[in-house]
C-alpha cells in the first residue's frame, strides 16, 4: 500500500522538524515547506535516511502548489519566539493570514485533514486561570506582541470559516511553551536563554521580579498531542501543554542546578504585555485524546541542556536537501 502523504509547513523549524520525523516514523511520506527565516536545514538533514522525505524552500505567503495526492496538511510555519516576531512583525502577520489561507486552500483542493498550530498566546495576559479552550482571551491587539497573538487568532478564525463554509476537515492545536533539542540557543525564549547563559558562566537575565509563571512541556509530549489530534475527529481548539506551573525565577534557579555551575540572577525590565500567568486546562485533551505530558520538567530540561551543551558538534554541517 502507498504511504499516506503529509505536507508540513515550517517543517525545518524546532517543532516542525520533530513533527516531520514523527510522521515519517508513523508511515507517512513527508513534504516539508520552509522559507528558512527561522528554521534550518540542519534540523531535517537526517530525515531522508529515516524514510520518504523531501524539503522544498518555499514561502507559503507567496503560493502553495503541490503535485499529487495529500492526506494531511500541518501548518506550523511562523516565527514563534518574541525575538523573531518582533524582528519580523509583518512577515508574522502574513504567514498567519495569507499563509493560513493558502494552506487551507491546499487542504480543500486535496480533501486533506488540516492541523493549524495555534498558541497559548491566543489567551494573551489571561484573566482566567488556568486557561480552558472556552476562554476568549485578554489580548492587546496594538501592542508589540499583538502581531503574533492576532496572527494566530486570525488563523483560528480562518480555519473555522473553512470548516463551516467549505467543509474542510480542520483541527486547531493551542501550543503552550515547549522546549527540547533543536531549539536555537539565541531564540530569546527563557529556557534556551537561561541554559546558554548558564553554560557560558553568565548571569541569568530574569525579566521583572521573576514571579510570572509559565507551563513548560517537552517537545516529545507536544508532538504526541499533535499526532493524536491529527488522527482524531476533533476540530478543537485543543490545549496541548504541561499543567505544571513554574515561576520564571524558579525555572532559572532550577537550570543553574541542572547545569551544575555556580551562577547568579540578573533582574532586567519586563517586556511590554508579558503575560503574568500561563497554565493550560488540559481536561479536553485528557478526555478526548487520552493525552497528558509524560516527561517531567527536570528530565526534559536535562535533555535540552545536553543538546545545547553539545553545541556545533551535535550535527554535521548542513548539506543540500
Catalytic residue annotation: 148
Helix, strand or coil, per DSSP, at residue 49: helix
> What is the rounded CA–CA span in Å between residue 189 and residue 178?
10
Beta bridge partners of 236: none
Question: Do 133 and 238 contact (CB within 8 A), yes or no?
Answer: yes
Backbone φ and ψ for 173, nearest 5 degrees, come out as -110, 130
> What is the rounded CA–CA span in Å between residue 48 and residue 77?
21
> What is the rounded CA–CA span in Å between residue 156 and residue 100?
9
Backbone φ and ψ for 174, nearest 5 degrees, come out as -100, 110
Question: Do 217 and 242 contact (CB within 8 A), yes or no?
Answer: yes
Question: Do 6 and 71 contact (CB within 8 A), yes or no?
Answer: yes
Element (H, E) at 55: strand 53-57
Question: Do 97 and 60 contact (CB within 8 A), yes or no?
Answer: no
Amino acid at each position: 500500500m502507498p504511504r499516506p502523504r503529509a505536507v508540513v509547513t515550517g517543517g525545518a523549524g524546532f517543532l516542525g522538524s520533530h513533527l516531520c520525523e514523527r510522521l515519517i516514523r508513523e508511515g507517512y511520506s513527508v513534504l516539508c515547506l520552509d522559507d528558512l527565516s527561522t528554521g534550518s536545514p540542519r534540523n531535517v538533514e537526517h530525515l531522508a535516511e529515516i524514510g520518504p522525505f523531501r524539503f522544498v524552500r518555499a514561502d507559503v505567503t507567496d503560493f502553495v502548489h503541490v503535485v499529487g495526492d495529500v492526506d494531511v496538511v500541518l501548518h506550523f510555519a511562523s516565527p514563534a519566539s518574541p525575538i523573531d516576531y518582533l524582528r519580523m512583525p509583518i512577515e508574522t502577520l502574513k504567514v498567519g493570514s495569507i499563509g493560513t489561507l493558502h494552506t487551507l486552500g491546499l487542504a480543500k483542493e486535496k480533501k486533506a485533514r488540516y492541523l493549524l498550530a495555534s498558541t497559548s498566546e491566543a489567551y494573551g495576559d489571561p484573566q482566567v486561570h488556568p486557561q480552558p479552550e472556552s476562554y476568549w482571551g485578554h489580548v492587546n491587539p496594538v501592542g508589540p506582541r499583538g502581531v503574533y497573538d492576532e496572527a494566530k487568532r486570525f488563523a483560528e478564525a480562518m480555519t473555522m470559516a473553512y470548516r463551516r463554509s467549505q467543509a474542510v476537515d480542520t483541527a486547531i492545536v493551542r501550543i503552550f511553551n515547549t522546549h527540547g533539542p533543536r531549539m536555537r540557543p539565541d531564540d530569546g525564549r527563557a529556557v534556551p536563554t537561561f541554559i546558554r547563559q548558564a553554560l557560558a558562566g553568565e548571569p541569568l537575565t530574569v525579566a521583572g521580579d521573576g514571579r510570572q509563571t509559565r507551563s513548560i512541556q517537552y517537545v516529545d509530549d507536544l508532538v504526541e498531542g499533535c499526532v493524536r489530534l491529527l488522527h482524531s475527529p476533533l476540530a478543537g481548539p485543543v490545549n496541548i501543554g504541561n499543567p505544571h506551573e513554574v515561576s520564571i525565577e524558579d525555572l532559572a534557579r532550577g537550570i543553574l542546578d541542572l547545569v551544575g555551575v555556580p551562577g547568579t540572577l540578573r533582574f532586567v525590565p519586563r517586556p511590554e504585555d508579558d503575560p503574568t500567568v500561563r497554565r493550560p486546562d488540559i481536561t479536553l485533551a485528557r478526555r478526548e485524546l487520552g493525552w497528558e505530558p509524560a516527561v517531567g520538567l527536570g528530565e526534559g530540561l536535562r535533555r535540552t541542556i545536553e543538546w545545547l551543551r553539545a553545541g556545533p558538534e551535535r550535527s554535521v554541517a548542513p548539506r543540500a536537501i
